[in-house]
């Protein structure tokens, strides 16, 4: 059933905000996915997940292109990581079709709390780039991409934030470099999930496209703002988004 026009307008506004958040720090799905779940009560949760991916892949691609014009990503790391994330997201999406996201929530909550504390108490983290060995760089990127890709396919919200934290903490990127690289990886996870959900008939294509146009607009504004304001700004937004995600997940777990 097609949502009423005012519901579509509201979802498009949310998509624009989600595009901005996702471009700066990741975590746009924190806004967009719950909005879809509320707006589509008669649909399976997998339809909300699939439609979310349709919108997100457009915004993420726009953010990746916007960053790429100024903040050159390290393709030698980004491409293998994106390929691994693609595979992980495909597996996660297959799981999501049959297994409710509630199964993963306690694990994700603990991981997010650890991530938030790590960023909050390491004030110098991600402000200056650090070098790591080539072997460690590639191994961490592939394994991290696979694991985070699985999470993105199975659950979704917060994927960009996890990618940014991995790139900063484990690979020595600045927050700005990490945001630029994370968008390339996120395109891979979104594409894999979209293929799986699309084949399962779990995507509202027209709604996803309309939301995607608004997501693109928000993503371009967010990427430009992040590049203008630098890594310190990205760090603050990342902490705020992660804190909100922790609260949302905790409430969901308490409510069961």
Cβ distance 249 to 109 under 8 Å? yes
pLDDT tens column, 17-44: 999 999 998 888 878 988 898 898 888 8
**Largest Cα span, the chain:** 54
pLDDT tens column, 90-137: 998 888 777 665 666 687 788 778 878 877 887 776 666 677 767 778
pLDDT at residue 112 in the model: 79
Q: Which residues contact 128 (CB under 8 A, 6 or more apart)?
A: 174
Domain ranges across the chain: 5-255
pLDDT at residue 95 in the model: 84
Q: How far is C-alpha 84 from the geometric centre of its chain's CA atoms?
A: 15
pLDDT at residue 160 in the model: 83
Coil vs helix vs strand at 127: coil
pLDDT at residue 121 in the model: 85
28-31: Cβ within 8 A, 24+ apart:
28/56, 28/59, 28/160, 28/215, 29/56, 29/156, 29/157, 29/158, 29/159, 30/157, 30/158, 30/241, 30/244, 30/245, 30/248
pTM equals 0.85
> pLDDT under 50 in the chain at which residues?
none
pLDDT at residue 107 in the model: 72
pLDDT at residue 147 in the model: 93
pLDDT at residue 102 in the model: 66
């Amino acid at each position: 059933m097609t949502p009423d026009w005012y519901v579509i307008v509201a979802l498009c506004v949310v998509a624009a905000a989600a595009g901005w958040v996702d471009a700066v720090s990741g975590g746009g799905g924190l806004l967009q996915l719950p909005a879809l779940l509320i707006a589509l009560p008669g649909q399976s949760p997998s339809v909300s997940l699939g439609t979310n991916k349709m919108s997100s892949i457009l915004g993420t691609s726009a953010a990746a292109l916007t960053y790429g014009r100024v903040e050159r990503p390290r393709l030698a790391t980004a491409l293998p990581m994106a390929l691994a994330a693609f595979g992980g997201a495909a597996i996660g999406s297959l799981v999501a079709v049959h297994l409710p996201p509630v199964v993963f929530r306690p694990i994700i909550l603990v991981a997010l709390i650890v991530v938030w504390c790590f960023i909050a108490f390491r004030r110098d983290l991600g402000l200056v780039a650090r070098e790591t060995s080539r072997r460690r760089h590639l191994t961490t990127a592939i394994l991290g991409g696979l694991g985070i890709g699985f999470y993105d396919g199975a659950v979704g919200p917060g994927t960009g934030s996890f990618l940014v934290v991995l790139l900063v903490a484990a690979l020595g990127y600045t927050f700005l470099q990490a945001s630029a690289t994370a968008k390339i990886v996120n395109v891979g996870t979104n594409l894999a999930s979209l293929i799986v959900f699309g084949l399962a008939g779990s995507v509202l294509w027209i709604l996803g496209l309309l939301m995607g146009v608004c997501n693109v607009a928000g993503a371009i504004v967010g990427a430009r703002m992040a590049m203008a304001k630098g890594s310190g700004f990205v760090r603050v937004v990342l902490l705020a988004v992660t804190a909100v995600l922790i609260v949302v997940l905790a409430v969901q777990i308490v409510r069961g």
